[in-house]
């Protein structure tokens, strides 16, 4: 049995999507596969990166895991054990055989923050025939937009566990770049920080709805650029943090917007120029044009 899920990027609504705000999310052309085969006396798990290197492996007795009798101390092992146990709680018929061989393969760098965990949850939910949003909530938590992206074939507008397909303006797709900041951000820590803020969320949620509409209906480059700049300023004020452009690229004539948890992973850059050489000169060599990274039907 083989399953595949897309990676994700959150173009608008970072953090606020946790409070039920609508967010524009982008499924990526990169993702993760899962292969499951019946095994003999022991179960095994092997995870491979995009270079074909095994970065994690474990051998275990599935019966012991499901009976909560498997002694585990390794952080990654704990994640796998938790997922298998939650799958079993949600569907006791999901493991008709005694043991299995699980093999996962990424086709993106796992430091990029494109959804190593969410693609795994979505793949496992397909194998176990359980609700992926519920499995996510029982394991890693989050808004669920990444699960929606795992299943989508084009950009989506996501809100509270449901989504609809959307189309970005053509000029926006032609002028958007995605730059990796050479640092993987811890999403769970970022969420804890956000949840601890005393700020009222209602005003920025309403502002986000307007910005989403303006961005999706923009007919001019400058209008889209203004939307992205306003979004970044709004979130900087809410988070009490300096924007990534102020911190790293103050001289760049472009809109630079954080995607997801602030401080790492990818940023979106909206510009009329090919800015690859600029970012490479700054030490950021991983730069994608929109059509190179994002799944799209238009």
| Predicted local confidence at residue 77, as pLDDT | 94
CB 135 within 8 A of CB 83: yes
pTM of structure: 0.94
Phi, psi of 33 (to 5 degrees): -110, 160
Domain assignments of the chain as residue spans, ordered by start = 2-159, 168-293
Q: Name the E strands within the chain.
A: 2-10, 23-38, 43-48, 54-60, 100-106, 156-159, 162-165, 176-180, 255-258, 266-270, 287-289
Domain 168-293 CATH assignment equals 3.20.20.70: no
Residue 192 reports pLDDT greater than 70: yes
Q: What confidence category does residue 263 fall into, taking pLDDT thresholds of 50, 70 and 90? A: confident
Residues in a beta bridge with 168: none
| Predicted local confidence at residue 298, as pLDDT | 66
Q: What confidence category does residue 30 fall into, taking pLDDT thresholds of 50, 70 and 90? A: very high
CATH numeric code, 2-159: 3.30.230.10
pLDDT digits (tens, 9 = 90+) for 119-150: 999 999 999 999 999 999 999 988 999 999 99
pLDDT digits (tens, 9 = 90+) for 76-118: 999 999 999 999 999 999 999 999 999 999 999 999 999 999 9
Residue 274 reports pLDDT greater than 90: no
Residue 243 reports pLDDT greater than 90: yes
Residue 190 reports pLDDT greater than 90: no
């Amino acid at each position: 049995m083989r399953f595949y899920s897309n990676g994700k990027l959150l173009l608008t609504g970072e953090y606020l999507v946790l409070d039920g705000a609508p967010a524009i999310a982008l499924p990526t052309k990169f993702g993760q596969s899962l292969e499951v085969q019946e095994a003999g006396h022991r179960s095994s798990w092997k995870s491979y990166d995009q270079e074909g290197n095994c970065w994690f492996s474990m051998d275990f007795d599935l019966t012991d895991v499901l009976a909560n009798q498997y002694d585990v101390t390794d952080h990654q092992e704990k994640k796998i054990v938790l997922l298998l146990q939650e799958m079993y709680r949600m569907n006791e018929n999901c493991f008709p055989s005694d043991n299995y061989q699980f093999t996962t393969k990424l086709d993106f760098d796992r430091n990029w923050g494109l959804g190593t965990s969410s693609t795994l949850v979505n793949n496992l939910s397909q194998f176990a025939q359980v609700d992926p949003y519920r499995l996510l909530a029982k394991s890693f938590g989050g808004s669920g937009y990444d699960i929606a992206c795992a299943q989508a074939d084009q950009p989506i507008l996501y809100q509270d566990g449901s989504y609809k397909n959307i189309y970005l303006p053509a000029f926006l797709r032609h002028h958007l770049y995605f730059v990796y900041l050479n640092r993987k951000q811890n999403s769970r820590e970022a969420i804890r920080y956000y949840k601890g803020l005393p700020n009222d969320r209602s005003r920025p949620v309403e502002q986000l709805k307007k910005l989403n509409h303006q961005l999706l209906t923009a007919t001019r480059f400058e209008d889209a650029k203004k939307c992205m700049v306003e979004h970044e300023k709004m979130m900087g004020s809410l988070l009490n943090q300096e924007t990534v452009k102020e911190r790293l690229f103050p001289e760049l004539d472009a809109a630079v917007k954080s995607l997801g948890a602030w401080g790492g992973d990818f940023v979106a850059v909206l510009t009329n120029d090919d800015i690859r050489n600029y970012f490479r000169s700054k030490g950021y060599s991983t730069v994608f044009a929109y059509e190179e990274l994002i799944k799209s039907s238009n």
